[in-house]
Structure 1
């Protein structure tokens, strides 16, 4: 059984189906041979001209996402003649409905199942490729996007809403041609011996970009401060870097660094390097040389990122054209920090309420436990007093048998004290009422708090 095409092979097949437009030919030509081995593409080179066209199987795969069904093998047996059956013709004037594609089927299933479907079984891999094709088809609503992933049960496909911040229309940031009244942060950079650690050709452009950025964010209500304005990049990227300047957006501090990109070229070893490497085995000749370029990169750190954490000059988009997205990123990080702060405040409030409820319940349970202990103490005192009373009855009967004299007088005095003592300690001779509950200490409440601390909401 032929394997399902991966995403790159499917992209190459679509490229051939569009007539092999220019732009990606050097990378796609190498992949066409694999498609030709599968019978989906026919490649030829005549007269020095390279061409590639779809086969019938390739057209079928683009339309349906699967290989065409294999034809049944023919047998060398006489085929009986069957009566001719005429197929019913369609009614004249009634247009035929176009065939439903897999993209249409996928979108209909997602709409019927609240934006999530799970494909399992032998066709799961095919639906993975169909989801990728549907995502590139341009038929997904502009406010939604298609997500798909492999799960243990199969391939999950979801149609989700695009976050509002990704649909926002950004206002361009104007970069001045000259710095007539630079921002205080830029003035601190200008006083450095080598501003931002950059080379001379790109310093002025970098300062104008920083000026446009900080003045724009200050108009949005944020604050800016200069950092280590004369430091260049460290050799070890794993070590923390000091920021060139910081911006505080709604309590979130965001650190910025302006870095100069470098061009890499093959290193040509000098005679001295070759001689040293020949003498010492530990000497290593570098493979590449790195030279500063005129491209700049802005790096951000701190807070929850949305668009990204770095923006780089490129041939398609200069850094000046990306400042609007950086300003938007600063605002988004500030809003995320404020939401987090409010959530933490609410969580602390809810935790305090739960702690107060736990403390109130612990006090009630402590009071109930104290009453039970008092009741048990009274019951124990009653049993003791009852036993003593029985004993005193027997002792009094014995005293009456004693002859008059000092011994009987001493016994009667003892009986009188013992009787008074039993009367004082007997609970039935005392007033029965609710006991006064003493103020509990922290250790008294711990057994009833179920993990909470008696000293605070933690």
Structure 2
């Protein structure tokens, strides 16, 4: 099937429905999503899951198909000459080289737009050689014409074989480091039914079945691949490594597939060696049952999460082959259920994040309000401490001078004693002058009035909050007592108090 093959009436009706605005996001649209994915593989429909919502929209190629009745890439129409070309040179002339270059640049721009609007990945499944060459040229043109957004780089695999996968990477995103592993793995993957069966015939270790059941298992793989393809999915075989692996690709997800054989248990028949051994060692334990191949196939398809496969088996009335199309639909249903569960988890996670952010914003607002009040109080305390120190020094200087005067008045008549006392008084008056801010105003004048409190200055006024970040702070009983003393001490002093200084020390 080529991308430009004609659509059937049902597909045209669905394409027109999507073009008219139905994005199939409602429950009524779920049954049509498989067909929409088939239209996506023809580049007639874009499918996204942004915001956790399934949305289908018609592309420019889809609009073109509805208007003209054929795919814009249909070679039968692309190669058809225009009326001007027919008049000038006859009906068999090919499009000019400039027209081909223009089409390549147009495809390159469409590719970049699709990458930018989606999740940064575009996959072209099972391209023929002509399509592969067109995309090679388009990718080259995107780089040559600088269509790649700034800060991004374009990478692709599938140049010669396999699916073409194009990715748009942010250069600063560390996820691009995994590109080489992805590119190498892609070389060993195929979704072509015949190649899948051929790979498993060459190395059947991916099918854990007996030799007698192997031909039937290979035929079931062929039927499973066809049924998946009919619903817009792909069965994938990866031959990298010693043992091939199977998986089902549904949209952007791949689910591991395991095909095995069910075993029956039959009573164990003792061999002659076992009988002799049992006589020599009667305490040994021999198996009660043996497991033997049953000839019944088992299919397991992983679900989202670890160790949650869906399982289908042959039963007495039907085989897996007769139910293969139903199985694919059930896989789809499981995939959609996983998507809904994932979306529900994401919604719950977003709501929890929003609640956490609201709670943190409220806490920050409370903290900032407490901190603003504490800043005013702490700054006032620092000013009070500086002013109080100057005031106490002034009171102390005044008291020293009064004391010196009293000493002079009570001086003895002894000349030697008077001379010694005068030295003491002179020394004390010098100390008083050094203490007195009215004589040495730099003590206060050089202290900045607009003091910025440090966290340790704020802490006594922050209550239960930390002074450094918007969170509650643990404080020991000793610290709480210390802060309470600081707050009480602030209320016991004012600048009108006179008398003995609260604390002063002689300074040398």
Q: Which has the higher helix share?
A: 2
TM-score tier after normalising by the smaller chain length: 0.3 to 0.5
